Amino acid sequence: MHGINAGLSYQGLPHTVSKKSEEHEYYNPLPEGYIKGKAKFVIVYGTVMSGLGKGIFAASLAKLLQIQGLKVTAMKFDGYLNVDAGTLNPFRHGEVFVLDDGTESDMDLGTYERFLGTNLTKNNYLTGGKLFTQVLSQERKGSYLGRDVQFIPHVTGEIKNFVRNLALTSGVDVVFVEVGGTVGDIENAYFIEAMRELAYEEGKENVCHVALTYVLEPGFLGEQKSKAAQLGLKELMSQGIQPDIVACRCQHQVIDKVREKISVFANVPIERVVSVHDVDSIYLLPTLLRKSKLDEQAIQFLGLQSRTKIDETAKNEWENYVYKLLGLEKEITIGITGKYTALRDSYASIIKALEHAGTNFGAKVNLKWIDTTFLSEEKATAELAELNGILVPGAFGSRGAEGKITCIKYARENKIPYLGLCFGFQMAVVEYARNVCGLTDANSTEVNSQTSNPVIDLLPEQQRIAELGGNMRLGGQDVEIKPGTFAAELYGSTFTRERFRHRWECNPNYIELLEKSGLIFSGRAPGREIMQTLELPREVHPYFVATQAHPEFTSTPLKSNPLYLGFVKAAIAKTN
């Protein structure tokens, strides 16, 4: 028998086998202990074009359900064949977000963590490369019982197993699943098929399909057009997905006439066709969705009414943040000096961390983007003079390094608040070694492998590792803070944890010279000579702090990272 239930080892589905053969056409592994219906699923798809904000929409709706007292988590599928995001160019893909467990992931996982205030893991992120590596590994082990391995049922079966495993291990009420890219992409077809199968097997009451689409608003027409949205939805429905909610992205609020057209075309009730138009901050989106009662509709659709109970603390904390966000009275300007300034998504977490800290102090943070690739001292003086703070972000490679050193020197000498991140820490060491310690040829071996004073270098144990990424310090690492330092004051502790993504370190052979010359290494890896935080005394500089970490990865709206708080506070003080 080759009916849909054949061979499914699944609660509520019979296991039947053909009389002619023990073989069947189904491969549907299930995590041990998985119970159908215990967790519900919200699947978010993109149509028309990428970059519409599927992750932001998913995080916003998830936040509303969290406030309703439900336990939620989110995951993303990226169809590209990279095993993770670690080797992707920020120009093409945006920033690489690093999870505490060291997973290098898509920037949308950062959005999930910031909205939900929770740490995600490798179980929340699946790429095509990771998926096929797993499938082929299983095939080599003989896990498919001699079968010819196919997209259906084996690839789709592994996807469903991944999604269900997240539901089981996280113990949540609702799993949000974002399908990266857009419907129609070849690399997404098998994942969309897996979600169609998931909905069939779990039951319609347990899966909610959300289509994020785009309503065109050409300036030369002066009106909104829904045809592109209709065609995108048609493509999604042709793959067996009937959307339950349609979220319409547009510059301005989508008019009722357009919503009605989409409602009829997509077979979705008009109250579940919602306008998701531009707002001043992504943190205002949950309020926008709440006005459409989308959270209540999702809860009703998934039959979760009995599990909901408003979390008053979460509700009040979020509303207080939004209240502050809408009432910013001060303004500061921060210069971000880097080499990926043409694509703002390259620094997404930095932008958000500055917004978190600024909102905490009632200040709007304006950004000035400064490309350091060809930045001379003369040009730097003109570019940096009016800034309230200078931030040098992380990077790899030599391009733009000298321009960053020039910016750091200007910030140090002119007492402009400075925050260095990862590469910004390394270049701060180089600048100090050159201009204070007198090592005029000091450099990082990443920038100049022949330098006679490698103040930044690979540690010996890193040099023995050849594989790209294998010699990186990745993920959450403990930091021992030196008592009595500014860092200890900022953190309010002599111990903290930050996330890292770097290869090069401060060369231990130069630590004594640097410290004798006035530089303070206020944070290090416990029990090791791996310097992780540096600063200048406050009597010398109002705020000169750098870290090998990426503190923006742990900053959330409700809990801004201490280094960003201190930086923004100092920048505000400079305006007075």
> How crowded is residue 79: how many other Cβ atoms within 10 Å of its Cβ?
19
Contact 505, 534 (CB under 8 A): no
Question: What is the spatial distance between Cα 551 and Cα 329, in angstroms, rounded to a whole number?
Answer: 26
Contact 427, 420 (CB under 8 A): yes
Q: What is the DSSP letter of 153?
A: I
The contacts found for 200-205 with CB under 8 angstroms, 24 or more apart, are 200/4, 201/8, 201/10, 201/13, 201/28, 201/36, 201/160, 202/36, 202/37, 202/41, 203/36, 203/37, 205/37, 205/302, 205/303
- Residues 6 or more apart whose CB falls under 8 angstroms from that of 508 comprise 529
3-state secondary structure (DSSP) of residue 36:
coil
What is the distance between the terminal CA atoms of the chain, rounded to a whole angstrom?
Answer: 79
**Active site members:** 422, 550, 552
Of 438, 417, 433, whose CA–CA distance to 538 is shortest? Answer: 417
Element containing residue 433 per DSSP (H, E): helix 423-435
Of 297, 275, 290, whose CA–CA distance to 64 is shortest? Answer: 290
Contact 86, 95 (CB under 8 A): no
Contact 160, 28 (CB under 8 A): yes
The string of DSSP codes covering 130-142 is HHHHHHHHHHHTT
Of 503, 375, 380, 506, whose CA–CA distance to 437 is shortest? Answer: 506
Question: What is the spatial distance between Cα 413 and Cα 541, in angstroms, rounded to a whole number?
Answer: 9
Q: Is 147 exposed, middle or buried (0-12, 13-18, 19+ CB in 10 A)?
A: middle
Contact 499, 532 (CB under 8 A): no
Q: How many CA atoms lie within 13 A of 450 on its CB side?
A: 0
Pair type for strands 520-524 and 473-481: antiparallel
Beta bridge partners, 370, equal 337
H helices of 203-308, in order, are 227-238, 256-266, 285-291, 294-301
Contact 272, 302 (CB under 8 A): no
